[in-house]
């Protein structure tokens, strides 16, 4: 994946140190086009083309990201603990090229970015990073943030979009996924639990990250301590339950998000406990109702991701990057298998949350 490319010309519009000499595709994000650029003075940068299909207002994204990183910078002890964006020749945090594509550039942080935890400590540290992030943004003025993707984690609306895609059946794939559709529809009522509780004012609306996968956090190379939270594109008002849950969905799973052998996919209860303990420690302000629904957060976000992957499959793979034609279907199936396993382990998940909450 890290192939050497010719230099992306957008880099010349940012005030970087040295002359850019190498440019490689980088990382395994599903949304933006990411490159690592190195210069002759030994500096490295991340250069990204923002996905305009996903983020229809890239300026609003960069206003959010700029405001959040500036706010965090005034609260962290070391500038490496937050992303450091580079100004363009127009004095803003983005560059618009001749094709009206938006680019941004920020300092490459020399750390470890994992697809799966290599030890309990790695996963614990990611919980500390996301928990601390949540805690640091507790007083951030939420009303100043743009809703960069409207109703991003509104699971009820995700079901509506799923129904629309099913009805439209743009590429004729609906007939082949009847079993998956049934599994999803059988859980529709439960999937709305968080949205209903937010609407009823029983759960607080917080400033949340909304994309808390393990590969969106950076660990220190030597100490393996949490260094920095990445991918701030979806920082918006939301629920802590989706943030906590998404980390579990991705990092406490025994297989990759796109594992084809479903027998390999389950919930690792030990890692579930590790993350829960770390998150509750780093984010002590969670309310009783949030604690009560924490395990539900993990189940609902996993279901939501299954719905989103299957919606995109039915829609002809326009949203998530895919490496082969059934990639989204494979992803949806692994998520559904994980939901089924969580149902098997439901009582144990609830007990672990209660125990870790009591041990805080």
Task: Return the one option of Mg ion, ligand GN1, ligand ADP, none that residue 113 interacts with (CB less than 5 to 8 A, by type).
Answer: ligand ADP
Q: Which of residues 199-228 bind ligand ADP (CB under 6 A)?
A: 215-216
29 vs 66, beta carbon nearer Mg ion: 29
Whether the Cβ atoms of residue 8 and residue 20 lie closer than 8 Å to each other: no
| From 74-82, 154-162, 169-177, 229-237, span contacting Mg ion (CB under 5 A) | 229-237
Token pair listed for 171: 């590429």
Q: Where are the beta strands (DSSP E) in the chain?
A: 4-5, 20-25, 33-39, 44-49, 95-96, 102-107, 111-112, 206-208, 217-220, 226-229, 236-238
Residue 19 burial (CB count, 10 A): 10
Please identify, using beta-carbon distances, which residue of 28 and 144 lies nearer to Mg ion. 28
Which residue's CB is nearer to Mg ion, number 208 or number 216? 216
Residues in 70-89 at the binding interface with ligand ADP, rule: CB under 6 A: 83
Name the nearest CA neighbour of 146 among 34, 66, 242, 247: 66
Shortest approach of ligand GN1 to residue 347 CB, angstroms? 27
What angle do helix axes 346-358 and 269-282 make, rounded to 10 degrees? Answer: 30
Q: How far is the CB of 147 from ligand ADP (least distance, A)?
A: 17
The answer to whether residues 120 and 270 touch, using CB atoms and an 8 Å cutoff, is: yes
* Residues in 16-55 at the binding interface with ligand ADP, rule: CB under 6 A: 26-27, 29-32, 34, 46
Site string for ligand ADP, 264-303 (x = CB under 6 A): ----------------------------------------
Question: Cβ 200 to Mg ion, closest distance in Å?
Answer: 32
Return phi, psi of residue 235, to 5°.
-65, 120
How big is the site for ligand ADP, counted in residues (CB under 6 A)? Answer: 18
3 state DSSP class of 95 = strand
- DSSP per-residue letters across 9-56: GGGGGB--SS-EEEEEE----SSSEEEEEEETTS-EEEEEE--TTT-S
Q: Which of 258, 245, 158, 160 is nearest to 203 (CA)?
A: 245
Interface residues with ligand GN1 (CB under 6 A)? 29-31, 54, 211, 213, 216, 231, 233-234, 257, 305
Residue 305: which of ligand GN1, Mg ion, ligand ADP, none does it interact with, CB under 5 to 8 A by kind? Answer: ligand GN1
34 binds, among ligand GN1, ligand ADP, Mg ion, none (CB under 5 to 8 A by kind): ligand ADP
SS3 329: helix
Work out how close the CB of 107 gets to ligand ADP at its nearest, in angstroms, rounded to a whole number: 6
Identified binder of ligand ADP from the candidate list 136, 219, 230, 236, rule CB under 6 A: 230
Q: Which is nearer to ligand ADP, 231 or 312 (CB)?
A: 231
Given the rule CB under 6 A, which residues bind ligand ADP? Answer: 26-27, 29-32, 34, 46, 83, 106, 108-109, 113, 215-216, 230-231, 233
Given the rule CB under 5 A, which residues bind Mg ion? Answer: 29, 216, 231
């Amino acid at each position: 994946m890290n192939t050497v490319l010719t230099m992306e010309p957008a880099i010349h519009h940012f005030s970087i140190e040295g002359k850019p000499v190498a440019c490689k595709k980088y990382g395994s994000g599903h949304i933006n086009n990411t490159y690592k650029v190195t210069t002759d003075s030994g500096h490295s940068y991340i250069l990204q083309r923002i996905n305009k299909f996903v983020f229809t207002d890239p300026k609003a994204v960069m206003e959010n990201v700029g405001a959040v990183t500036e706010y965090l910078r005034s609260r962290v002890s070391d500038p490496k603990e937050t992303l450091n964006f580079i100004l363009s020749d127009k004095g803003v945090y983005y560059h618009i090229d001749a094709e009206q594509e938006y680019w941004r550039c920020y300092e490459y942080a020399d750390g470890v970015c994992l697809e799966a935890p290599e030890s309990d400590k790695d996963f614990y540290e990611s919980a500390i990073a996301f928990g601390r992030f949540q805690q640091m943004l507790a007083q951030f003025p939420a009303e100043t943030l743009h809703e960069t993707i409207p109703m991003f984690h509104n699971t009820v609306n995700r079901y509506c979009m799923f129904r629309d895609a099913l009805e439209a059946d743009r590429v004729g794939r609906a007939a082949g996924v009847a079993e998956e559709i049934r599994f999803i529809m059988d859980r529709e009522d439960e999937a709305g639990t968080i949205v209903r509780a937010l609407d009823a004012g029983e759960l607080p609306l917080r400033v949340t990250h909304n994309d808390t996968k393990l590969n969106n956090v950076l660990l220190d190379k030597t100490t393996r301590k949490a260094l920095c939270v990445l991918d701030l594109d979806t920082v918006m008002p939301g629920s802590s339950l989706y943030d906590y849950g998404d980390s579990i969905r991705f990092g406490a799973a025994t297989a990759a998000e796109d594992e084809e052998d479903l027998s390999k996919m389950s919930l690792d209860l030990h890692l579930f406990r590790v993350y829960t303990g770390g998150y509750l420690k780093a984010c002590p302000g969670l309310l009783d109702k949030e604690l009560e629904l924490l395990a539900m957060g993990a189940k609902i976000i996993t279901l939501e991701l299954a719905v989103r992957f299957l919606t995109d499959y039915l829609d002809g793979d326009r949203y998530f990057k895919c490496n082969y034609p059934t990639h989204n279907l494979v992803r949806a199936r692994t998520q559904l298998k994980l939901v089924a396993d969580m149902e098997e382990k439901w009582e144990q998940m609830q007990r672990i949350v209660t125990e870790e909450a009591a041990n805080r």
